[in-house]
C-alpha cells in the first residue's frame, strides 16, 4: 500500500522511513504542497500525508477521491486546513496526530517568553561583536508575574505547569475548565479577565470561527500596557495589523510568534536570496521587541518520532477498517 507525502522535508523522510520499518508501506515523497497542480502525479495511492500549510479544500478532496485515495492523514494536531465536510461527502477518512509532544510546543513558548524578556537574541549578537555592555538588556522577574493562558488542552496544560514552576500566578480561560490544573493552582477566569490582568498572555487554543482574531483592536486596549503576547498556536488567532499598531503605541511590549496568518507563502522555505513581498511580516521583524520563529515549536526529535509512528499507525488502522480515536474531531 502506498502513501504519498506532500510538503515533505529531509527530516520528514528520515523519521517516516525509520518508523516505516515496522509498517512496510511504500512511501512516496513530494516537496511541493498538495494542490490542483500536483493531482495528476498521484497514482495508485491509498493515503496522502499532509502538513499544516497544505490547503486540502473541496476541489482537492474531490480530485483525491477520483484518484482512489481513501485517507487524508495530517501529520500535525490542527486540522483547520482541511474541509472536513467535503471529506465526509467524498467518503475520505481524515486522521491527525492530536498530541505528539505537547511539551515540545510548550517549551518553545517558554523559550520565546524568556528570550524576549531577557533579550537573549540581542545579547547573543552583541557579545559576538565584543560589546559587553548591558544597556538596553534589562528584563523582569517572571516569578510572581501573572501569566494568562488561553486554551488549556494538551499544550496549554504543559505550558501552565511550566509557568507554575517559575512561581508565576497562572490564570487561564478555556471553554471547558481543566480540573487537574485548577487543583494545581491555575485559576480559571473569563477571557476578558485574562486580557485585563495578565503581564504575559500565551495562546494555546485552536483556530476556528470563535477564535479567529481574538487578539484584535478591541481586545488589545483592554490588556495591561506593555503586555507580552506569545502565539505558538495558529496565526489567524491574531489580527496582525492591530498588533502592529499596538506595538507602535507600546500597548504591546513584546511579541513572540511561531505562527503567522500568511505563513504558507514563507515558512518552511529558505527565501534568503528572495525579495519578500509581504510588507506585514517585514514590518513585524523590524521591531526590536518582536521575535518570529518559522513554525518550529513542534520540532524536536521526540515529536518527529511520535508524529511518524502515530501517522503510520492511523493510516494502518483506517485502511484495516478499525476504530480510531485520532480522526479529526468534527467527523468523530
Looking at the annotation, which residues are catalytic?
A: 234, 263, 295
99 binds ligand NAD (CB under 6 A): yes
Contact predicate 170/185, CB 8 Å = yes
Closest CA to 4 of 49, 67, 38, 65: 49
With respect to ligand NAD, which residue has the nearer C-beta, 35 or 206? 206
| Smallest separation, CB 198 to ligand NAD (Å) | 14
153 binds ligand NAD (CB under 6 A): yes
Contact predicate 6/38, CB 8 Å = yes
Residue 46, CA distances (Å) to 61, 69, 72, 80, 187 in order: 13, 4, 9, 22, 47
Residue from 40, 133, 210, 274 in contact with ligand NAD (CB under 6 A): 210
- Mask: binding to ligand NAD, 214-253, rule CB under 6 A, as x and -? ------------------xxx-------------------
Residue whose CB is nearest to ligand NAD in the complex, by number:
153
Residue 321, CA distances (Å) to 24, 47, 70, 263, 286 in order: 18, 14, 11, 36, 52
Piece of the chain touching ligand NAD by CB under 6 A; list 9-17, 29-37, 84-92, 149-157 = 149-157
Distance, CA of 314 to CA of 317 (rounded, Å): 5
96 binds ligand NAD (CB under 6 A): no
With respect to ligand NAD, which residue has the nearer C-beta, 51 or 254? 51
Kindly identify the residues of this chain, within the stretch 1-20, that bind ligand NAD according to CB under 6 A. Answer: none
53 binds ligand NAD (CB under 6 A): no
With respect to ligand NAD, which residue has the nearer C-beta, 4 or 152? 152
Can you count the helices (H) and strands (E) in the chain? 11, 12
176 binds ligand NAD (CB under 6 A): yes
Residue from 83, 103, 174, 199 in contact with ligand NAD (CB under 6 A): 174
Distance, CA of 200 to CA of 202 (rounded, Å): 7
Residue from 35, 38, 55, 78 in contact with ligand NAD (CB under 6 A): 78
Cell of 42: 498521484
Neighbouring residues of 195: CB distance < 8 A, sequence distance ≥ 6: 148, 201, 219, 222, 223
Residue from 206, 268, 294, 331 in contact with ligand NAD (CB under 6 A): 206
Look at strands 169-173 and 71-74 and give their pairing: unpaired
DSSP state of 127: H
Binding-site ranges for ligand NAD (CB under 6 A): 77-78, 99, 102, 105, 150-156, 173-176, 204-207, 210-211, 232-234, 258-259, 295, 297-298
Amino acid at each position: 500500500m502506498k502513501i504519498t507525502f506532500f510538503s515533505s522535508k529531509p527530516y520528514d523522510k528520515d523519521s517516516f522511513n525509520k518508523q516505516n520499518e515496522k509498517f512496510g508501506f511504500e512511501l512516496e515523497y513530494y516537496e511541493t504542497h498538495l494542490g490542483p497542480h500536483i493531482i495528476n502525479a498521484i497514482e495508485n495511492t491509498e493515503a496522502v500525508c499532509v502538513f499544516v500549510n497544505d490547503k486540502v479544500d473541496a476541489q482537492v478532496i474531490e480530485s483525491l477521491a477520483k484518484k482512489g485515495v481513501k485517507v487524508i492523514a495530517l501529520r500535525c494536531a490542527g486540522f483547520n486546513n482541511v474541509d472536513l465536510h467535503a471529506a465526509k461527502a467524498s467518503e475520505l477518512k481524515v486522521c491527525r496526530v492530536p498530541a505528539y509532544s505537547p511539551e515540545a510546543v510548550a517549551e518553545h513558548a517558554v523559550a520565546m517568553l524568556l528570550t524576549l524578556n531577557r533579550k537573549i537574541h540581542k545579547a547573543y549578537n552583541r557579545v559576538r561583536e565584543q560589546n559587553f555592555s548591558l544597556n538596553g538588556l534589562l528584563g523582569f522577574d517572571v516569578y510572581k508575574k501573572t501569566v494568562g493562558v488561553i486554551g488549556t488542552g494538551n499544550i496549554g496544560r504543559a505550558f501552565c505547569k511550566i509557568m507554575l514552576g517559575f512561581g508565576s500566578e497562572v490564570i487561564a480561560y478555556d471553554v471547558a475548565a481543566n480540573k487537574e490544573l485548577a487543583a494545581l493552582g491555575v485559576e480559571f477566569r473569563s477571557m476578558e479577565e485574562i486580557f485585563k490582568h495578565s503581564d504575559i498572555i500565551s495562546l494555546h487554543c485552536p483556530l476556528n470561527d470563535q477564535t479567529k482574531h481574538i487578539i484584535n483592536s478591541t481586545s488589545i486596549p483592554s490588556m495591561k500596557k506593555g503586555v507580552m503576547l506569545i502565539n505558538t498556536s495558529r496565526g489567524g488567532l491574531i489580527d496582525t495589523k492591530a498588533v502592529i499598531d499596538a506595538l507602535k503605541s507600546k500597548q504591546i511590549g513584546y511579541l513572540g510568534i511561531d505562527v503567522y496568518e500568511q505563513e504558507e507563502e514563507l515558512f518552511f522555505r529558505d527565501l534568503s536570496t528572495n525579495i519578500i513581498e509581504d510588507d506585514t511580516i517585514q514590518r513585524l521583524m523590524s521591531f526590536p521587541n518582536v521575535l518570529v520563529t518559522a513554525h518550529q515549536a513542534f520540532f524536536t526529535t521526540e515529536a518527529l518520532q511520535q508524529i511518524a509512528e502515530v501517522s503510520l499507525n492511523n493510516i494502518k488502522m483506517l485502511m484495516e477498517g478499525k476504530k480510531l480515536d485520532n480522526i479529526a474531531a468534527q467527523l468523530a
